[in-house]
Structure 1
């Protein structure tokens, strides 16, 4: 071989060596930059971080981290947050990071460590480095390959936008310094989202109905006839030393926060065209009593069954007045809340003849 041919062959051989070396260096650098190679660590499966509230700058947010770790004995779980993927370097146990703007993890508190046969009480949270949640167990433990879940509360979310995280485990621990990376997750992208402002307007509501009940109320008398309507109470002709009675159902529906009260009154005593009147029974709304009508005394009154008015025991009656008297109530919103009132009139042997009239007024008053 000539000298010239030897030199040519030598240069070609060295050129190929240099080219292959350059190619290998370039591939290693590229794969390391994009996270494909993480030293000698194993890649974890199914890394996930769930936020209890994704609003920007939301304080007291709970982060639930789950992953499937290798079965090696580990002493550290590190969850690192950063403003970019390039700042998530956990291969050497370096927990310094560039946390996302506005994020605070130094006030975080451990909620629980579970799964993977790990004991919750063994693990403590070290949170002195903002952007890093470091769970430590000096003795170490080996997950069984099932999903590990770590829940941490008291975190303040980043102020806006996308941020990134990575989860890593380590087999070494000394003075809150984790070392010897065992495995890591892929990079995890997270994002804060503004809440959706929802509003709805509910109008105040009240309905009140009066209907014939035609039954005795709270031990009162059996109605003497089915004559009451929603707008009238025609007792008809009542013989001397006899009575007439009938009853109404009072039904209220309202969305008033503090409920309602129904009041009753009459416009006057039962009065005829000669200004003669039928006396009222002697009991009052505050202190009902036995009905006072007899052969010698006429009487007119009412009885109710709302349990909030416990003074109305069985078969005790009260007089109407020209001022409102409370006869039914509820302390909150109700739907079709029904109570009853019975009316009774007794005519004495000496009651003057004539048609006696008055107007009974029931008023439902809500408290919004």
Structure 2
């Protein structure tokens, strides 16, 4: 009973951390947060789960996200436009987890980015960018030694973000009648150019037969102010790119499908974006702060230790608030293009 009370308090703390929060905002907002699959939600036998606390120590996740943004927003208002920027992004992620013990694991994530953008305002052009993103290295610990008797647990993680991704990619563009090499939009850059760190949490709790409550979230702290990468923007204070914080949270219910061992469906909410002001350091330079809240349906299927996870977040609310330079200089509130939905898929295998 004492351990169960402690679990509920820990899960409540994790949920509050998620709600307070910050991988991929669907559009021009440059959030590239990764989403690790929660294999503990997949029941492979009576009372068991695919997460299985076996002697196998290594797990590899191959993730993929794709979306196409063409809905124009100022603030929370969508404004119809006959000509829209189309920002098409593909983000791959290779995640590795190595268990040191049932509670402790080492984590590594290697993102790879590919995207195109048909920019309709100067410098006009079609930009295509591909490259390695910012790698993160860290550790995770479950608060309780798994498997727990009460069917739930909470984990916390901390990772260092390395500035391995290119953050000054360019494209051929037309500017004042001349073809030039111009810096691609901030949302197209695989990296942000700064050192940072990520704090995360994940938790689940069994409710009834085959059903679980889950929560997941992370916040990327980027203490550096700007990257000194030019933006070709003439607005005051926006000539170089800002190095931004990012956040992601999701929570909901998962239900195992009766008589279909290894299959679970889920429904929840997902929020992600870039804040107006970083929690640490200054927030000068050009950034598109923004937030998107989505309905997050998904399914997971375990086949002999390989877990397929698919989510299709559909946007419910989108907002592009003014950035720090826009507030300081009383300029017109900036804009952003968002997508209606994204597709997130991953394959996870326990070796």
- TM-score, structure 1 normalization: 0.21
Q: Using CA pairs below 8 Å that are at least 6 residues apart, which structure has the higher relative contact order?
A: 2
Largest Rg, 1 or 2: 1
- TM-score, structure 2 normalization: 0.22
